[in-house]
């Protein structure tokens, strides 16, 4: 058994390893090769600084390190089901953090489902829970909440206008809601209310909600209503920090379908 970076590993091999090692995860995580390529590109994964665990040359566990300046994000970490429960994840992830330090990274962020035992490893290696991120995944037919008929209006705006309003509104995005990450998708449709105090971003016309935020309580009901009418009653609000939107949904009796922890480790500087 040995640890090695993923530098030079083919997309085919990465895809096979990913599909094998994520087995048993509560959400569908299977990738095809073109999806793996897109994931690596959009997340800016640095394969030369991402670690794998190999047994007889075969990848049996790995982690992906995405890089944004001096900050890192774990874009996936997993162990082959046949090799789990032997503390291998701890060894792999310790090495992953050392690799991040080689890039002079100051902090690494990740998200983990609240009931995933990987949290034990992350905590042991210095990660601390920063905040909860809530997931609401509801199909229209399962949702008692219905869009209001009147009085809800958002206008389509440029991405520059959208992100400026979001920054001014004080929204602190989790990693996959960062401006640079969201801008890597196309076609994007950005919407703001009249005074720029709430907004939503869709991939394609109403197909997939990528981002939603409000900066005051009055807008929460209106924005949820607008999203529901735009997405034909479905609600797919992922990785939402606790805010007016999540408070409104909870008030309406809607529980999050899952909770993730956003965890952060601050890395010590290596003296050269």
Ligand X SMILES: CC(C)(COP(=O)(O)OP(=O)(O)OC[C@H]1O[C@@H](n2cnc3c(N)ncnc32)[C@H](O)[C@@H]1OP(=O)(O)O)[C@@H](O)C(=O)NCCC(=O)NCCS
* Least distance to ligand X, CB of residue 239, Å: 13
Q: Token pair of 28, please? A: 């569908």
Task: List the one residue out of 126, 89, 91 whose CA is nearest residue 105.
Answer: 126
Does position 51 interact with ligand X (CB under 6 A)? The reply is: no
Q: Where are the beta strands (DSSP E) in 193-269?
A: 198-203, 208-214, 235-241, 258-266
Number of helical H runs and strand E runs in the chain: 8, 12
Q: Which is nearer to ligand X, 59 or 118 (CB)?
A: 118
- What is the spatial distance between Cα 141 and Cα 157, in angstroms, rounded to a whole number? 30
* Least distance to ligand X, CB of residue 81, Å: 8
Taking CB under 6 A as the criterion, the residue among 121, 182, 201, 223 binding ligand X is 121
Q: Which residues are paired to 72 by β-bridges? A: 67, 108
What is the footprint of ligand X within residues 61-100 (CB under 6 A)? 77-79, 84-90
Helix (H, G, I), strand (E, B) or coil at 130: strand
Residue appearing with tokens 């939603």: 212
Buried/exposed 131-159: b ≥16 CB within 10 Å, e otherwise: eebbbbebeeeeeebebeeeebebeebee
Find the Cα–Cα–Cα–Cα dihedral 31, 35, 36, 42, rounded to 10°: -140
Does position 201 interact with ligand X (CB under 6 A)? The reply is: no
* Least distance to ligand X, CB of residue 216, Å: 33
Task: List the one residue out of 201, 169, 164, 170 whose CA is nearest residue 185.
Answer: 201
Q: Which is nearer to ligand X, 231 or 260 (CB)?
A: 260
Does position 112 interact with ligand X (CB under 6 A)? The reply is: yes
Q: Which is nearer to ligand X, 88 or 224 (CB)?
A: 88
Listed ranges 100-108, 113-121, 161-169, 238-246: which one lies at the site for ligand X (CB under 6 A): 113-121
* Least distance to ligand X, CB of residue 126, Å: 14
Listed ranges 44-52, 116-124, 150-158, 244-252: which one lies at the site for ligand X (CB under 6 A): 116-124
Listed ranges 112-120, 168-176, 195-203, 231-239: which one lies at the site for ligand X (CB under 6 A): 112-120
What is the footprint of ligand X within residues 8-27 (CB under 6 A)? 21-22, 24-25
* Least distance to ligand X, CB of residue 52, Å: 13
* Least distance to ligand X, CB of residue 248, Å: 28
Does position 123 interact with ligand X (CB under 6 A)? The reply is: no
- What is the spatial distance between Cα 222 and Cα 228, in angstroms, rounded to a whole number? 10
Does position 133 interact with ligand X (CB under 6 A)? The reply is: no
Does position 144 interact with ligand X (CB under 6 A)? The reply is: no
Within 8 A by CB and 6+ apart from 191, the residues are 154, 155, 156, 157, 162, 199, 200, 201, 202, 226
Residues that bind ligand X (CB under 6 A): 21-22, 24-25, 77-79, 84-90, 112, 116-118, 120-121, 124
């Amino acid at each position: 058994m040995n640890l090695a970076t993923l530098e030079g590993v083919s997309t085919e091999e990465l895809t096979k390893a990913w599909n094998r090692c994520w087995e048993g995860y509560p959400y569908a995580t299977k990738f095809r090769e073109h999806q793996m390529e897109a994931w690596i590109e959009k997340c800016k994964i640095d394969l030369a600084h991402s670690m794998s665990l190999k047994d007889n040359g075969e990848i049996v566990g790995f982690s992906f390190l995405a890089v944004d300046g001096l900050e890192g994000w774990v874009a996936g970490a997993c162990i082959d089901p046949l090799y789990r429960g032997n503390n291998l994840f701890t060894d792999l992830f310790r090495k992953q953090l050392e690799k991040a330090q080689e890039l002079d990274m100051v902090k690494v962020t990740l998200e983990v489902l609240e009931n995933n035992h990987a949290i034990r490893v992350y905590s042991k290696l210095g990660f601390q829970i920063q905040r909860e991120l809530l997931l609401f995944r509801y199909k229209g037919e399962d949702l008692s909440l219905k869009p209001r008929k009147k009085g809800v209006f958002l206008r389509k705006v440029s991405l520059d206008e959208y992100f400026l309003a979001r920054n001014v509104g004080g929204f602190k995005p989790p990693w996959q809601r960062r401006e640079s990450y969201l801008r890597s998708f196309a076609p994007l449709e950005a919407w703001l209310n009249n005074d720029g105090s709430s907004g939503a971003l869709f991939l394609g016309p109403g197909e997939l909600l990528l981002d939603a935020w409000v900066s005051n309580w009055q807008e929460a009901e209106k924005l949820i209503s607008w999203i529901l009418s735009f997405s034909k009653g479905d609600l797919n609000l992922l990785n939402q920090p606790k805010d007016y939107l999540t408070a409104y949904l909870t008030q309406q009796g809607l529980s999050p379908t899952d909770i993730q922890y956003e965890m952060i480790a601050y890395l010590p500087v290596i003296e050269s």
